[in-house]
Structure 1
């Protein structure tokens, strides 16, 4: 009998505790938000749903805040407050943010955001405070993505654009969410390229062209696409034959060499003709050169005359002249 009384007492006590727990008031704020991320096209209006359950009293307060992608929750920035029956929008989104239901005391705290921009992409925090309901944090998180069509991409090229070489064509859009994919096409009708000569990466927007030929020349178009739309840019490729360039360069070099030799030969021939036309100077036996040294003049005098660079000659004295004449033979 005593063995059966113990379990019965324990069961009755447990039932009383359970009944007492059901009758106790639930002092806890419960916030509900969408589990899936929200996507909205740029320029449109979005509604971020937030509902809550609590015993609303005079101390009820609601706060919406925003944190940019990649940053911690502690870095969130306020959007609006509701407390004591008043709404206080704040921050850069103040003019575009409002509550779907006002006042938000009926369990609905949905945020309405108009004219969404790419900078609105991020995480939004819906927080409800209602003392003495402190048993939960009363916080809900919603991820918003603003959908943006690709901006006009920029096309560029690199590499040696000549026969037999390789080239890289690149394409990139500065805007676009989700991230655009890129596809290169060649405009016009051309022979089908050989397998492996055109390799493109849809994520990076790069097109690799190998073993270029003259038929590789033409216009190539890059198309950037996401679920919001597409944009494109064109690039013209002109493949040159470097072997022809080398032949032309060698031919030009030969022609310049022949021209140089011709001019040199002409100048030499002209110089020879000028020398042949120049008259020869002859002297008679009885003629005396003006620069000749008269007999009898000392070598010292002649040396001094030479030192004057031929600009001033020293005339012989009278005695020297007479002496010279007296030594000349008489011719009868």
Structure 2
């Protein structure tokens, strides 16, 4: 077999290798992302492919914390078209298409929390699609010392469902529920602190089944202000010393002015006395 034959064989093997192992590779920039409820968040997903992007397909799905057994579609990019799920309509979009599969999620809700999956395929590359996952945590933000009201509303249910609130992390406990009719159960937490932070779950149950919803509560604790207090004390002390120095200077200037005035007055009196008695002295000199 000549050199040309070997070259063709090598190219055929190389092409076969690419077709067999040329699956899209997906890389997630983060394993987990946090966002405060109502803010925007970017979910990163990068991919590598050997083929042109004419038939690129990207599918984002969510497995919500509230219903782990029911994953849902978030947004799809397929042959240049973007399709948003009704639950995310107007709130989700791709960031850097077609070179990036990143998406941005706006006006985040508690129900957006869960595990997001980015699935990328790009025919004619063979093999399984590239898949990456990350978790999104939606935080309810409040300041230490304030009050928090966690509410859970039942859209419908018969027989009337029971509402149960629990704190799951870091310590598990059942919380007293305030009923507002048959459709809402709430928990009021007063004077919250850092220990109040954690994962809370509302469970709605009746003989036909149970539904859950979750919320992460993050309590903001102001940093220790001791250094700031010390700086304030030092600044006040410096200002007091400066004021005292100014008062001493003013008093010294005032006293100097008084002494100068008295000295000038005394000199004028001496000059006046000398001139007043000079004639009499002169008279006596002619006697």
For normalisation by structure 1, the TM-score amounts to 0.40
Structure with greater strand share of residues: 2
Structure with greater helix share of residues: 2
Instruction: Specify which structure has the bigger relative contact order, considering alpha-carbon pairs within 8 angstroms and separated by 6 or more residues.
Output: 2
